[in-house]
Amino acid sequence: MVPVAFQDPIYDFVAVLLTERGLSQNTADAYECDLEQLAAFAAGRGRREWREVSGDDLSLWLETLTAGGAKPHSVRRKLSAARTFAKHLFTTGARRDDFSALAQGPRTTRPLPDSLTEREVEALMAAPVAGTARGARDRAMLELMYGSGLRVSELCALPMSAVDAEGGFLRVLGKGAKERVVPVGRAALKALRDYLAIGRPQLVTRHTTGGALFLSERGVAISRKTFWTSLRELSRRAGIGRDVNPHLLRHSFATHLLAHGADLRAIQEMLGHADIATTQIYTLLERRRLLSEHAARHPRKNMRV
């Protein structure tokens, strides 16, 4: 049971959420449940009302939740409820301070991107059936995605006019309709020329309109779903024993460039990242790879300490 001295301010707060802030009943109920849990914890520490609850009480409650196995996102949600409530108590004059000001939730750890090995990339590039229109298209798409770090949406939307074969670059329309110029390597250029000379003419049908670079077997601009389906089929043919999605090729592009000494700012520009912090995640991936290599191969790795 939550003492009345704790419960009444919670009821008042929930009423404000519903009537003045327009929150849904489910959201208001979630706030109420979280605050009742905090109130019960504070009462168990001898607090008799909200004016006696301290930042240490809140921090210890959060630590107790984490130690008890609560998920980080759940703990962060409860902290958010406590912060909103603490500000309500302060603005309404029920407290002279914000007891949640110094409390911190569990840190969010961003998962590191996965990537293919260079050997897996070679096997994947060899998987399309040579001498067929579809095989030429798939090889050119794979080479471009891995060779230039394109998003699948950018790849499928490429017009014929985007390719400058002589200059060795592509004009890509990325997020926010921002255009960027990306280099195209020799392997990708060769695959593109083969596709344009042999593959694309065979894929043109009466349905073909506009100037889409990559066509489906119906003769229209290839969709992301169609390419994804082809990629799954090719990865199985290549013997890659895990799920391969288009973004994995983009991650592999950045990871392999960095491993071979490319400048991070150059990778940022090629990927079309607005913020360098987004690109820096690949430095963590490379650091993890180096640590793994060191641990596995250093001659004194088995020394006891």
pLDDT digits (tens, 9 = 90+) for 175-185: 778 889 999 98
Q: 142-145 contacts: CB < 8 A, separation 24 or more?
A: 142/191, 142/231, 142/234, 142/249, 143/185, 143/187, 143/188, 143/191, 143/192, 144/170, 144/184, 144/188, 144/191, 144/192, 145/246, 145/249, 145/250, 145/253
Evaluated on CA atoms 67, 56, 102, 18, the torsion sign reads positive
Q: Which domains does the chain have, with CATH numbers?
A: 4-91 (1.10.150), 118-296 (1.10.443.10)
Average confidence (pLDDT) over 107-126: 82
Lowest pLDDT segment from 48-52, 111-115, 194-198, 270-274:
111-115
Enzyme catalytic residues: 151, 175, 247, 250, 273, 282
Average pLDDT over residues 46-72: 91
What's the pLDDT band for 299 if we cut at 50, 70, 90? low
Average pLDDT (280-305) is: 60
Q: What are the angstrom distances between the C-alpha of 181 and each of 13, 81, 215, 272?
A: 53, 46, 22, 9
* pLDDT in the model for residue 290: 57
Predicted confidence at residue 305, as pLDDT, reads 44
Write down the pTM of the prediction. 0.60
Q: What is the pLDDT of residue 288?
A: 58
In DSSP terms, 215 is beta-bridged to 221
Largest CA distance in the chain: 81
